[in-house]
Amino acid sequence: KKGGEALVVTGDVTKKEDFEKVVSKTKREYGKITGLVNNAGLMPLSFVEKLKTDEWDKMVDVNIKGVLNGVAAVLPALKENKGGNIINISSMAANRYFPGGAVYCATKSAVKMFSEGLRQELAPKYGINITSIEPGAVATNLTSTITDEDIKDKMKEMQKMETLEAEDIANSIYYVLTQPARVNINDVYLVPSEQQ
Residue 152: pLDDT over 90: no
Per the document, the length of the chain is: 196
Phi, psi of 21 (to 5 degrees): -65, -40
Tens digits of residue pLDDT in 52-72 = 999 999 999 999 999 999 999
25-190: CATH class = alpha beta
Whole-number pLDDT of residue 142: 73
Whole-number pLDDT of residue 185: 96
What pairs with residue 37 in β-bridges? 87
pLDDT band at 161 (very low <50, low <70, confident <90, very high): confident
pTM of the model: 0.92
Domain assignments of the chain as residue spans, ordered by start: 25-190
The secondary structure of 109-176 as a DSSP string is HHHHHHHHHHHHHHHHHH-EEEEEEEE--BSSSGGGG---HHHHHHHHHHTTSPPB-HHHHHHHHHHH
Q: Catalytic positions, please?
A: 104
Of 169, 104, 180, 101, nearest in space to 136 by CA: 169
